[in-house]
Amino acid sequence: MSDTHLNFIAGEWKPSRGGTTFGDENPARRGSDLCRFQASTAEDMDEAITAANEAFRAWRRTPLADRQHYISEFLKLLQKSSEELAAIVTQENGKTIRESRAEVGSALVEGNYHLNQVAAFYGHTGPGAFQDITTWVQYQPLGVVGVISPWNFPMNVMCRKTLPALLTGNTVVFKPATFTPWSGVFMARLFEQAGLPAGVFNCVTGLGSSIGNVIVQDPRVRAISFTGSTEVGKKIQVKAAANLTRTQLELGGKNALIVMDDASIDKAVDAAMTAGFACAGQWCTSTSRILLHHAIAQPFIEKLVARCEKMVVDDGSREATDMGPVAGPQQYEDICAAIQKARAEGARMIAGGDTPNAAQGYFIRPTVFAGVTPGMSVFQEEIFGPVLAVSAFGTLDEALELANHSIYGLSSAIFTRDLANAKAYIDAIEAGLAHVNIHTGYKEPSMPFGGVKQSGSGLPENSESGLEFFIDRKAIYLRS
């Protein structure tokens, strides 16, 4: 009998009022049931919002240094439980244990960045321009904030949203992804152990379509920070507009890696392998299109395919595994269908094919399609799996036109030794992240993280904007 986890509402662990639960499958073992979670109802979500709303009155007046203390305690506990948490992430998400350790490491780096940055964030004071008055812009917390996260980074994404929200004086209702609730509930336990006052952080598990809507539509919720698909992000934007609820939407991508004829082929292949197949191609910043200059296309492809063939695709908890399974049955089916469609549309599959252990888990071998043209779905649609689409070009202008031929604009990269090429790419690429000689997934906490076009909307996460999203500005004029 597997353990059953409860919701964390108003500082207490509670079962759902609906009395039903759902399971959590390890994608490396079809049919497994790691533990069970509350299939929460609208009433549970309402109770969490009420708790967060009541806790806000005291939390907003809690001195910044005290808020920092709680978050610092939380980060110490996170550091201490890194290995246990990484094992949970690997079990419920499927990514390799190395990738899960890196995810926890990234949450710690980002969390410490926000913890240190928040003090510098406050306070712009000056003399008034026209009279003997003092002016300043006072930052106010918003109130209750809804955090909705995806399954691909089950703990890092929620930390990137929740920690700045709490540091700036907001209270949080968090809904983890349905596939990966365990990491979310684990984080709630760390907040409890860190001594956070009751109601400041609440975690409610369940289906996005039922309880997600409740957070988005409740007028007491002042902002929604959402990471997930463009399709769901659009629905949230429309529903949130009814109350003018602020949204931060981090959405899908179809990220292009451009390789020029003067590039180091080995380094560019390394970048394609890292960002193409880490987390089984399920980073939002994964490379999914590779655009190759005609002159280096052949040697690049030969090296890429040789590396793909050597990859060990297996249970992510084994240290020797290079790539784990995809996250669940729906992803598996969708990715297999996208591969079939690419073949039917005439793309040439040069790596991939049958995966012997697919009967045990949702394993898909690294897959590469060559001869891809912009009209094909494999060029346009976010597959969110270990599938690369390779196209060729003759000039940088052509490469940029291909790269920008997408509804998405999250990340991108170019490999070149020519500074003029690099500058032209930086200016023209339609993406929130531009990398020169670095893979598409690289990011740092001091830099804004967010997409353009249909990859995102609202202020980006991380950097100053990651804090700014959670505050209102009040213009103060004081005559003493």
Q: Does 51 bind ligand NAD (CB under 6 A)?
A: no
Looking at 60, 235, 303, 341, which residue binds ligand NAD (CB under 6 A)?
235
Nearer to ligand NAD, 75 or 173 (CB): 173
Tokens 């209750």 belong to residue:
144
Q: Does 466 bind ligand NAD (CB under 6 A)?
A: no
Q: Does 152 bind ligand NAD (CB under 6 A)?
A: yes
Looking at 62, 217, 229, 404, which residue binds ligand NAD (CB under 6 A)?
229
Nearer to ligand NAD, 245 or 416 (CB): 245
φ, ψ for residue 50, nearest 5 deg: -60, -45
Of 35, 159, 284, 308, which is the active-site residue? Answer: 284
Q: Does 409 bind ligand NAD (CB under 6 A)?
A: no
Binding residues with ligand NAD: total (CB under 6 A): 30
Residues 312-371 touching ligand NAD, rule: CB under 6 A, are none
Q: What is the smallest separation between the CB atom of 255 and ligand NAD, expressed in angstroms?
A: 9
Q: What type of residue sits at position 470?
A: F
Q: What is the smallest separation between the CB atom of 306 and ligand NAD, expressed in angstroms?
A: 28
3-state per-residue secondary structure call for 252-269: CCCEEEEECCCCCHHHHH
Find, among 241, 278, 258, 288, the residue nearest to 408 by Cα: 288
Distinct helix (H) and strand (E) counts, the chain: 15, 22
Among 83-91, 223-231, 338-346, 353-361, the segment contacting ligand NAD (CB under 6 A): 223-231
Nearer to ligand NAD, 223 or 284 (CB): 284
Q: Does 234 bind ligand NAD (CB under 6 A)?
A: no
Q: Does 252 bind ligand NAD (CB under 6 A)?
A: yes
Query: Which strands make up the sheet holding 348-351, listed edge to edge?
Result: 348-351, 367-370, 387-393, 287-293, 255-259, 412-415, 435-436
What is the chain's length?
Answer: 480
Residues 412-441 touching ligand NAD, rule: CB under 6 A, are none
Count CB neighbours of 440 within 10 A. 29
Q: Does 213 bind ligand NAD (CB under 6 A)?
A: yes
Q: What is the smallest separation between the CB atom of 442 and ligand NAD, expressed in angstroms?
A: 14
Find, among 308, 303, 309, 267, the residue nearest to 439 by Cα: 267
Nearer to ligand NAD, 231 or 302 (CB): 231
Render 214-247 in DSSP notation, one character per residue.
Answer: HHHH-TTEEEEEEES-HHHHHHHHHHHHTTT-EE
Looking at 181, 451, 458, 466, which residue binds ligand NAD (CB under 6 A)?
451
Q: Is 284 a catalytic residue?
A: yes
Residues 266-285 touching ligand NAD, rule: CB under 6 A, are 284
Find, among 18, 14, 34, the residue nearest to 26 by Cα: 34
Render 136-186 in DSSP notation, one character per residue.
Answer: EEEEEE-SEEEEE--SSSTTHHHHHHHHHHHHTT-EEEEE--TT-HHHHHH
Biggest alpha carbon–alpha carbon distance for the chain: 78
Of 47, 92, 192, 250, which is the active-site residue? Answer: 250
Q: Which two tokens stand for residue 60?
A: 């907003």
Q: Does 223 bind ligand NAD (CB under 6 A)?
A: no
Looking at 71, 204, 251, 339, which residue binds ligand NAD (CB under 6 A)?
251
Question: Residue 188, SS3?
Answer: helix
Residues 372, 376, 381, 385: is their CA dihedral positive or negative?
negative
Q: Which class for 216: exposed (0-12), middle (13-18), buried (19 or more C-beta within 10 A)?
A: buried
Q: Does 148 bind ligand NAD (CB under 6 A)?
A: yes
Among 229-237, 304-312, 317-325, 393-401, the segment contacting ligand NAD (CB under 6 A): 229-237
Q: What type of residue sits at position 359?
A: A
Nearer to ligand NAD, 251 or 292 (CB): 251
Give the x/- contact pattern for ligand NAD in 365-394, rule: CB under 6 A: -----------------x-x----------
Just list the catalytic residues: 250, 284
Q: Give the footprint of ligand NAD on this chain (CB under 6 A).
A: 148-153, 175, 177-178, 208-209, 212-213, 216, 227-229, 232, 235-236, 250-253, 284, 382, 384, 410, 451, 456
